[in-house]
Structure 1
Amino acid sequence: MSVRSIVRHADWLMSPETAPEAPAIVFEMECTTCGESSEAAEDFETARTWAFVHVGRHPSHTGFREIIHRFWRAKLLE
């Protein structure tokens, strides 16, 4: 018995998830000097405040990486 596959070209659309039950966007900040990071939070100001407190305690830690968790949905275009 042989197995056959059918492959065809398809167009997909990627967009942010908008369903009411979709998870909220989550923000974090990570210090690029020591790797310490804020807690994940739905409010960006929480992550930014953590960065201000961190640099206040460690004045030489001036670089930060913003980490955003945003959920997306793929839709097959017909």
Structure 2
Amino acid sequence: MLNWTISHDSAPDAPPTRHMFRCLGEDEDGKPCGAEGPVVEDFQEAQCWPFEHLREHQDHRSFAHVAEVPWLMIPEEEPS
């Protein structure tokens, strides 16, 4: 049996880390809003969307940060 570790993929050709925010607020009827901002590489750019959403829905003040980060599974030794 092989032993594995998991590690952030920081290789130059690794996919970029991407960010998105999702609204955790509720609509007037009590249903989760679930609106999502754009998926972008720049975290500061992703942070703009909750402010835009709040302008239109002033009672939606709770958000989830969703990050897509590339990771690799690395064997202790290469399988033969």
The match for 2:17 is 25
The correspondence of residues 1-78 of structure 1 with structure 2, limited to 5 A, is 9-33=1-25, 34-78=33-77
Letter of the 1:19 partner, please give it.
A
Q: Deviations over 1:23-76 (max 9, x none)?
A: 110000000121111110000111111101111221100010110000100111
Max Rg structure: 1
The match for 2:28 is none
* Alpha-carbon offset, residue 18 of structure 1: 1.4
Structure 2: runs of 5 or more not aligned: 26-32
Percent of aligned pairs with the same amino acid: 30
Structure 1: runs of 5 or more not aligned: 1-8
Query: Counterpart of 2:39 in 1: which secondary structure?
Result: coil
Alpha-carbon RMSD: 0.9
Instruction: Provide runs of 4+ in structure 1 moved above 3 Å.
Output: none
> How far apart are the structure 2 equivalents of 1:63 and 1:47?
15
